[in-house]
Amino acid sequence: MFTAMEVLPNLFGGGGGDSISNILSILFYVVFIVFLFYGQRIQMYVMIREVEGSLHKLRYIKEEGRKITIETIKEIGKPQTDPSDRVDRYLEYFTIAPQSMDPAGIVYKLDHILDMRDTRLKDEVKIMAPASDEVQINNLENTLEAAMALNFIYKVVRHYYIQGKKTLSLYVIMQLQMILPLVMKEAEAYASALKAFADGQPIGDGAGPLVAAKLMHGYETRKVPKDCVVATVPIEGRTAFIIKAEGPGGNVGKPGDAVKAVIDENKGKISSVIMIDAGLKLEGETVGEVAEGIGAAIGGPGVDQFKIEEAVVKYQIPLNAVIVKEDIGDAVSPMRKEIADSADKVIERMKNVILERTKEGDKIIIVGVGNTIGIGQ
């Protein structure tokens, strides 16, 4: 520092440069002292500015989401009155998770609460968009849920931003600033999802239902609880019960109940359950890569995973999984070509599993897990 202060002014030479070198020397001293005492505060202000920029962007995304949602409701649902107030109320809805001090039976309590939430939200959509059919109601519900997620993200970030500013705590701001890139990525993914839901386009999460739809297309389907369909399809000399959520509306169904129902119908005589789902990829992995494993490939709050595991354990049925790798952004935005193309690779891989793990004449269950928006059967 001192060397720089001595050298830099001298660069200007003597004579006419003296006043400038004095100014520069003073400037260097001032900068040094300011950074010595206020370095951390300056660093904090820089971080606050960064968070502020992201917060502006989040607010923009949230408002755009709200606007798209209202426009879609007006276009599809043909409401008599302006749905803006109702949409604003919907965006503030919350769900209280069941008490977990005594965890016994919590899964069914959570299941009940999720069912109530779903029914309540669907009823709200029906009031907001009276002219829409069942498929459109599902799509609008998904659109509103994406807008709700954006609203929530914005509010949480704003909360920590204001708290950090109020307390001038470097650590509150630093934590927020550190996770911001991931938060922004998620928010952008939801913004993309919102448009896909509004238009009824298949999303990356629909990889499982797409495979199931390809397998069951042309075969008779019947409804199974809840919001799922099943088709009996012969594959490699085996009888496969293909299960997926009922499309093409935005719907994930309750595969847990569906798998349990099919297993019970067959009195547990099932040789294997194969689950196909979209799986989160790690950075560096390719989108649409297919991987195979063991266990219940299903996300969400865990209720369906619990039910499937319970059903297969009861009858000691092997549980296999095939996943299509993608990141969170791909999962909720319109389906990428790589993911759509991977459906055939999944079918090939699944046939290998069937040939290696089951015998001819066996009964198997294949479940396409995920949101079936834009995918029929």
Q: Specify the residue, 122 or 195, whose C-beta has the smaller distance to other proteins.
A: 195
Which tokens go with 10?
């001298």
Q: Specify the residue, 249 or 256, whose C-beta has the smaller distance to other proteins.
A: 249
Query: Taking the mean position of all CA atoms in its chain, how far away is CA 77?
Result: 26
339 near other proteins (CB under 8 A): yes
335, 197 Cβ separation under 8 angstroms: no
56 near other proteins (CB under 8 A): yes
12 near other proteins (CB under 8 A): yes
Q: Which of 109, 126, 195, 226 binds other proteins (CB under 8 A)?
A: 195
345 near other proteins (CB under 8 A): no
Which tokens go with 32?
């040094």
Residue 211 φ/ψ, nearest 5 degrees? -65, -45
Binding to other proteins, residues 238-267 (CB under 8 A): 247-248
146 near other proteins (CB under 8 A): no
Tokens 């660093």, located at residue:
43
Binding to other proteins, residues 316-335 (CB under 8 A): 333-335
Q: Specify the residue, 35 or 171, whose C-beta has the smaller distance to other proteins.
A: 35
Q: Residue 8 Cβ, how far from other proteins at the closest point, in Å?
A: 10
346, 324 Cβ separation under 8 angstroms: yes
Instruction: Give 167-196 as a DSSP string.
Output: HT-HHHHHHHHHHHHHHHHHHHHHHHHHHH
201 near other proteins (CB under 8 A): yes
The span from the CA of 361 to the CA of 310, in Å, is 25
Specify the DSSP class assigned to residue 205.
Answer: G
Q: Residue 288 Cβ, how far from other proteins at the closest point, in Å?
A: 11
Tokens 């920029």, located at residue:
53
377, 213 Cβ separation under 8 angstroms: yes
53 near other proteins (CB under 8 A): yes
Contact residues for other proteins, defined by CB under 8 A? 11-13, 15-17, 20, 49, 52-53, 56-57, 59-61, 63-67, 191-192, 194-196, 199-202, 210, 213, 217, 247-248, 284, 287, 333-340, 374-377
